[in-house]
Structure formats: structure tokens, C-alpha cells
Amino acid sequence: MTERYDEHYIGSVTALGDTHEVVTSQAVFTRNGIKLVERGTRVNSAFREKLVQHKLLPPIDQCLSVAGGVTQASLRDRAREILDTEPRFQLLRSALPGVERLLNAFYAMPLAPALAFKLTVAREQRPEVYEHSLQMTLIALFLAIKNRLPDRDLATVAAAGMLHDIGELHIDPELLRPGRRLDATEMRHVYAHPMTAYLILQEYPQYHPEISTAVFEHHERLDGSGYPRGLKGEEIGTIGQILMLAEAVTTLFEKSWRTHGASRLSVMLKMNRRKFSRELIDHLVGQLHGGEPAGLDSMGEVSAEVVVAQLDQLAEIFRNWHGGYQACAVDTPEAAEAPLVDFVNQRITGLERTLLETGFHPDELAALTVGIEDDAVALAEMQLMVRESRWQVSDILNEVGRRGTELAADAAGRALVEGWIKRTEALLQG
């Protein structure tokens, strides 16, 4: 049976050839030594089926050139445009004495021709990945500058930021569509993208191991709740820690800036001091200002009754876990000590500690609304806290899914965890 290799990326590459001059700079062979395409051939969608049937040697990115591709100069120009035109980046720009040092990092970053080609594919065929990477890199460079990293490291940060999501180019775009619910197999494909990027980058000496490792780490978390390896604390390098926070902030900017401005970012930063470097968080918190949450009108009228119901729902999620855990500890102590149960218990208690540190007692959440029933700003901020907490609960459910294979043999704790997950999913959907 013929192997189909990397069909989604090959599809993007050949589609690029329909609108740009994509030409083979060397002949393309199968891994068995059969020549598929001659040097100097213009490639377009007509070549898709031929190319997806085989693993190609050399890799396709090393065989192609494209007119008008991404360069360090074009990256710097687009980054300047974002800083000049995107309101949310004024927070960062105003905190720097100037932007030239930040922008020069794009010009100084290493950019191998094959990886420039890959970024060109992203720019033309997957613009959401390309723009996300540019904006994430701007935030990462801001954090690096505030953290007093030297210029050499800024170039490294720029390269790691621009290349951190190249693994997503090898995933079916449908799996990354906003709102798409993924099954366990699909989730594993998505969660593999840091490893995919790492494997690509390790083939280039100028990117490995410093840049490739930082890219591998960009979804890790200091408390061990990230992926793909569940690293903790100092196991994650400095640049990896910068990418982690920059990725989270960029995603939040994309999802909620128009409705909540800096308000939700402030809540997220306060509630994630266990997951990210506190020093890096403080560089951002210092730029956020108090006052009415931006976009309050777009949320509609926030009633105390709605907020109380949401707080009760959140408290019930905690009560359900602790009730089941305590009963399990009495009836089947070995199950309460099982790795799967301990794993979830650490995540739940960690979220509760975070709430306590930010002034919210998990057992008294609804009482927090007493006396602020007519304070629209306070209620809106409370609702942002609830939304961030619900997101973190969803992240716990996703963690269990990510580690499903690893924990599948944990029969002793599976019933408790599966029962809590079922009740929690029903609450989150309600």
C-alpha cells in the first residue's frame, strides 16, 4: 500500500504554487531513490497527488524556492506595522524607550532558506498561523528586553517565536478551527505540534539545540501542567519560559481584546503565577491600568443573579471533586493514592490556591457578590475571574485527555476521575 506522507502540508505547498512562482531548486526523489520531479520544474496543485504518496528526499522545503518569499526584512516591516496600527500593542510600545532594538531582532534572527520557505507557506496559505507567530514574537521580544537579555539572545527569541508553530502547518487545518471539538486521537495530533517543530529544527545546526528546545517548550508550564513532556520549574529554559507566557498572552489578545481589553489579561496573569515566571508576569502587570474593563458594554448587562449562578457552578465543581475524593479515601484508600487521582487532585487544589491568592475563597464564591449588586464594573471583573477559572478547569480535563494513554492502566482511580469529569462537563456546558 502506498504511504501518504504529510498530505496537509504538501497541499498547502502545492496550492502556493497556484498563486506564486514555486520552482524546484533540485530534483525531488522518493526515499527509494525514484525521481518524482526534475530540477527547475514549476510546482502547483497538479503535483499534489504525486507528492503526497511518498516520503520525499530531500524534505520538500529544501527542494523548492518561491518568488517574493519571507525575509528578515519583510518580517521586520510587518512587525513595525503591527506596532504602529494594533491598539493592544501600544501597551508594550509605551513601556519601551524605543522599538528599534526590538525590530532589529527580526533582522538579526537566523533564517535558513528552507525555513523561510515554510514561513512563506504560512503567510500565504495559513495567515492565521503567520500573524499569530509575528504577534507572539513581539510579546516575547518585549519580555526578553524587559528581562535584560542581550542582543544575541533577542535574535534567538525572534527565531524561536517565528518558528514556534511551524508544526501546525503539518496538521489538518480543520482540527485547529475555533470551536472544533476534538476526540482523543485528534487531540494527540494537535498536542504533537511542538515535537514536530523540534524535529524539523534539529536538522539545522544554527537552530539546534537552543532554538529548537525553546520551541519544544512553548506549551510547558512551571507547575508541570503543560505539554508535551510535563516539565516543571527550572527544567524549562529561560527562552522557553518567555515563549510560554508570550504564547498565552497572544492567544488571550486574539480571543478577548475587543471585548475585554486589558481586563481579562490582568485576571489571567493574576491567576497563573504558578504556571509562568512571576518576574515575567510582573513586566506585563506593570503596563496594565485599572478602571472599567474595556468592552463592558459589549458584554451586555451583567446581573448579580447571573454571576452568582456562575460562581455556584464553579464551587460545585470543586465540591464534587472533594466529596468524591474523600469518600474514595475512606472506602478504597488505594484508589485515592492512585497516580491518576493524585494528578487531578493536585490540579484542583492548585487552582483553589490560586483563587485564594487572588482573594477568592473557593467555598465562599457566591458571597463575594454581596454588596456589589449594583456595581457593573465589579460584577464584570468577577465574571472575568469566573471565565478564567472555568478555562482552567477545562484545561484540567484536557490534561487528563492528553495523558490518557499514560494513565489508562490506573484502574483504581479511573472510576472517581471519570465520574467527576462527566459531572464537570455537564456543568461547563450548562
Q: What is the DSSP letter of 403?
A: T
- What's the rounded Cα separation, in Å, for the pair 271 and 322? 21
- What's the rounded Cα separation, in Å, for the pair 275 and 294? 26
Fold classified for 72-285: Hypothetical protein af1432 (1.10.3210)
The DSSP string of 165-229 is TGGGGGS-GGGGSTT----HHHHHHHHTHHHHHHHHHTTSTTTTTHHHHHHHTTT--TBS--SSS
Q: Residue 130: CB partners within 8 Å, gap ≥ 6?
A: 119, 122, 123
Q: Return the amino acid letter for 235.
A: E
How far does CA 103 lie from the centroid of its chain? Answer: 23
Q: Are 264 and 388 in contact (CB under 8 A)?
A: yes
Which pLDDT belongs to residue 314?
87
**How many CA atoms lie less than 13 Å away from 418 in the CB half-sphere?**
10
Longest dimension (CA), the chain: 76
Q: How many CB atoms lie within 10 A of CB 413?
A: 24
Domain ranges of the chain: 7-66, 72-285, 301-429
Q: Which residues pair with 42 in a beta bridge?
A: 23
One pLDDT digit (tens) per residue for the chain, 430 residues:
233 458 999 999 999 999 999 999 999 999 899 999 999 999 999 999 999 998 888 899 999 999 999 999 999 999 999 999 998 898 888 899 999 999 999 999 999 999 999 999 999 999 999 999 999 999 999 999 999 999 999 999 999 999 999 999 999 999 888 777 777 788 888 889 999 999 999 999 999 999 999 999 999 999 898 899 999 999 999 999 999 999 999 988 887 676 666 777 877 787 788 889 999 998 988 776 543 344 434 444 567 777 778 888 888 999 899 998 888 888 888 888 888 888 888 888 888 877 766 666 666 665 555 555 666 666 777 777 888 888 889 989 988 887 766 666 677 778 889 899 999 999 988 6
Q: Return the amino acid letter for 188.
A: R
- What's the rounded Cα separation, in Å, for the pair 317 and 330? 21
Question: pTM of this prediction?
Answer: 0.80
**How many CA atoms lie less than 13 Å away from 241 in the CB half-sphere?**
22
